[in-house]
Amino acid sequence: MREPQWRREGEEPDYRFSLANERTFLAWIRTALGLLAGGVLLDQFATTLGPARVVKGLAVAFGLLAAALCALAYQRWRGNEIAMRHARRLPVTPAIALLASMTVAIALTTAVIVLVHR
């Protein structure tokens, strides 16, 4: 596998920081997998939860959020590695705000569906 250019620049960071960065990346990926599993669960098993279109929309939202989270997780991991190699501050990420706001929106939509279709 070809090593990217950015890995050949700057100083090699302390391996403990690189491993911590990798663990954080894997935590984001686990969260994305959980969201994806929730979307599949809604699509396949929530047939009586509410209007089919709304449930399908929620399932798609879970899937899209999972995909966005995977991309943002890689971007965050890479940005942190580059910053550590050049002894700079770690970059700010939009991933946390995106995950929080989208999860709140999905949770509220799900709550409304459950309350309306009791």
Identify the band that residue 118 occupies on the pLDDT scale cut at 50, 70 and 90. low
The average pLDDT across 8-32 equals 94
Residue 2 lies in a domain: no
Residue 78 lies in a domain: yes
Residue 80 lies in a domain: yes
- What's the DSSP call for residue 94? S
Residue 8 lies in a domain: no
Identify the band that residue 1 occupies on the pLDDT scale cut at 50, 70 and 90. confident
Nearest to 28 by CA among 56, 89, 70, 91: 70
Residue 70 lies in a domain: yes
**Is 0.95 surpassed by the pTM of this model?**
no
The average pLDDT across 72-95 equals 94
* pLDDT of 116: 83
Whole-angstrom Cα distance, residue 107 to residue 58? 10
Residue 5 lies in a domain: no
- Token pair belonging to 52: 């089919």
Residue 58 lies in a domain: yes
Residue 3 lies in a domain: no
Domain holding 29, by residue range, is 13-116
State the total domains in the chain.
1
| More reliable by pLDDT, 32 or 115 | 32
